[in-house]
Amino acid sequence: MDKDSQYIQAHIFRDMSEGMLVIDLNGSIRSVNPAAETIFARREEELIGRPFASCFFEYEENDAFNQAVVDAIYASGTTQDAIVPFRTEEGTRTLHLRASFLKEEGRKIALLLMIGDISELAELRDAVKAMETIRELNHKLEMRNLFLRQTFGRYLSDQVVEALISTPEGLSMGGKQQEVTVLMSDLRGFTAMAGRMKAEDLLTMLNHYFEEVYEVIDAYHGTLIEFLGDGLFVVFGAPKQSQTHASDAVAAAIAMQRKMAAVNAWNRERGYEELRMGIGINTGKVIVGNLGSEKRSKYGVTGAPVNTASRIEGLTVGGDVFISASTRQHIPEELGIGQTLSVRPKGIPEAITVYKILSIGGSYNLSLDEENESFRELSVPLPVRFLKLSGKELKPQEMEGTITAFAGSRARLYTVSPLREGDQICLISEEDVYATLTEEEAETYVLTVTAASPAFRRKIRRLLPDGS
């Protein structure tokens, strides 16, 4: 344990209002805190190093206390609870005793006793005094909850932490069915990019990206369920139910895409590559709650709508927001629709309708910054060889074509090979260049480049008329 952890532990041990007593497996007392000294009316030097039996067996009234400790020692390892009387020279107290084993690498090393003096609670009759005690207990509960929020807030969203600590069933296993909107996002071409970057630069870039987009998710009441490598799994409408979860999700998605301009400006300042994000959204009934086992669990969301959201996200290219028909039905605000697709993603038994979203009206009033840059003819057409993708696999049939013009991240491709809108291709004549066909007309196609190496981008700039 490092010095900071030892320091924190020592202060927690010293300042706790509950008594703490540590007994080694030989029956000797090894540690006692000030609260325990007060409860037992004994000084630390009267207890440390002495056998437990010689310290607390002097009064017959303490038999229940001693028996509870003995029972804990011979228990199977489960936590033991007891409320027992305890006599000292100052009188008899009512104690709440909680005993458990301290373990190291699965091996028992000592017995830990947590002792609470509940004498006043047992004797309370006066309503005013009872209320004062309740207020004090509530304050302690608030302080404990604040500690939990601060400790776990880095690993779980605020809504999840609140759900776990604010209700008795918060930490219990299981879940409930709830209608939510699921948002899945992913960075295009990130795997290839990761192979070109130093690990520290990659993590710096990725952490900055996550920090920026999480601010947007939080602002629109989304709950981050999990980081999926370079992707995000977010739900709207859970744990806290909402009537606007679908609208909030679409507004968040548009705001996340708008945020990418600032993210990429930050990347360019540091010599990093630009990022392009695709977002898929679906609405439906899922199971939300604590998933796993009693030893290892997490707050999660599961169900077919989650898989559908993931499949929809897989249809996007960089900069897109695609939603399902179910999500659209739940949104009262006016939506700007740029494209409607009827698709049958892998694992989904029937075709679904997917909409490309450009804007959302009402109080949100958000729209995507569309790419309006005009095509510029290359000074010399660029011949390319490419393969089509099926899922994550490349089909073996090699095809040929010519890139004739460029506009931002879009390229115009001429080929006699049979292609159709939505096809994904990989340029094998270039290094790590992936694209999706977004428009088609006769034998000319418009590609949206979803991942490209810096070398390819430099080559295109050199082929543009002004070299830009």
Q: What is the pLDDT of residue 263?
A: 93
Longest Cα–Cα distance in the chain = 101
User: Which of the residue ranges 150-159, 252-261, 401-410 would you say has the lowest mean pLDDT?
Assistant: 150-159
In this prediction, residues 433-452 reach a mean pLDDT of: 79
Residues 85-129 have pLDDT tens digits of 888 888 888 888 888 887 777 788 888 888 888 777 666 544 455
User: What's the whole-number average pLDDT of the chain?
Assistant: 79
From the number of C-beta atoms within 10 Å of its C-beta (0-12, 13-18, 19+), residue 396 rates as exposed
Domain boundaries defined on the chain: 3-123, 177-367, 376-463
Task: Describe the strand order of the beta sheet including 91-104 as a list of residue ranges.
Answer: 29-32, 19-24, 107-117, 91-104, 80-88
Q: To 5 degrees, how large is the angle CA 243–CA 222–CA 258?
A: 110
- Looking up tokens 């400006």 gives 265
Q: Identify the three-state secondary structure at position 58.
A: coil
- Looking up tokens 């006016």 gives 334
Compute, in degrees rounded to 10, the torsion defined by CA atoms 320, 217, 156, 262: 80
Q: To 5 degrees, how large is the angle CA 21–CA 22–CA 26?
A: 130
**Class of CATH domain 3-123:** alpha beta
Residue 148 has pLDDT above 50, yes or no: no
Q: What is the pLDDT of residue 171?
A: 43
Residues 6+ apart with CB under 8 A from 384: 400, 401, 402, 403, 413, 427, 429, 430
Q: What is the pLDDT of residue 323?
A: 94
Residues 22-71 have pLDDT tens digits of 888 888 888 888 888 888 888 888 888 888 877 877 777 788 888 888 88
Q: What is the pLDDT of residue 234?
A: 92
Identical fold, 177-367 and 376-463: no
> With bands split at pLDDT 50, 70 and 90, how would you rate the model's confidence at 170?
very low
- The highest-confidence range among 55-59, 254-258, 271-275, by mean pLDDT, is 254-258
How far is it, in rounded angstroms, from Cα 43 to Cα 36? Answer: 9
Residue 1 has pLDDT above 50, yes or no: no
279 DSSP β-pair partners:
185, 321
- The highest-confidence range among 18-27, 57-66, 277-286, 421-430, by mean pLDDT, is 277-286
pLDDT above 90 covers what percent of the chain?
A: 20
119 vs 445, higher pLDDT: 445
Q: What is the pLDDT of residue 455?
A: 77
From the number of C-beta atoms within 10 Å of its C-beta (0-12, 13-18, 19+), residue 36 rates as buried
At 445, phi and psi to the nearest 5?
-130, 150
Q: What is the pLDDT of residue 162?
A: 56
Structure tokens at 171: 């930490």
Residues 343-355 have pLDDT tens digits of 877 777 788 899 9
Amino acid code (one letter) for 453? S
Q: Which CATH architecture is the domain 376-463 placed in?
A: Beta Barrel (2.40)
Q: What is the number of other CB atoms lying within 10 angstroms of the CB of residue 449?
A: 24
In this prediction, residues 254-271 reach a mean pLDDT of: 92
Q: What is the pLDDT of residue 168?
A: 44
How far is it, in rounded angstroms, from Cα 438 to Cα 303? Answer: 30
Residue 139 has pLDDT above 80, yes or no: no
Q: Does residue 305 have a cis bond before it (omega within 30 degrees)?
A: no
How far is it, in rounded angstroms, from Cα 272 to Cα 236? Answer: 32
> With bands split at pLDDT 50, 70 and 90, how would you rate the model's confidence at 155?
very low
Residues 356-408 have pLDDT tens digits of 999 999 999 999 865 556 788 998 899 999 888 876 667 788 899 999 888 87
Q: What is the pLDDT of residue 129?
A: 57
266 vs 150, higher pLDDT: 266
Q: Which CATH superfamily is domain 177-367 in?
A: Nucleotide cyclase, GGDEF domain (3.30.70.1230)
Q: What is the number of other CB atoms lying within 10 angstroms of the CB of residue 279?
A: 29
Structure tokens at 449: 């480049």
> With bands split at pLDDT 50, 70 and 90, how would you rate the model's confidence at 142?
low
How far is it, in rounded angstroms, from Cα 241 to Cα 131? Answer: 33
Distance of CA 5 to the CA centre of its chain: 26
Which contiguous run of DSSP H or E holds residue 15? Answer: helix 3-15
Q: Identify the three-state secondary structure at position 143.
A: helix
Q: What is the number of other CB atoms lying within 10 angstroms of the CB of residue 363?
A: 9
Q: What is the pLDDT of residue 254?
A: 95
pTM for the model = 0.57
Beta strand residue intervals within 63-135, DSSP E: 80-88, 91-104, 107-117
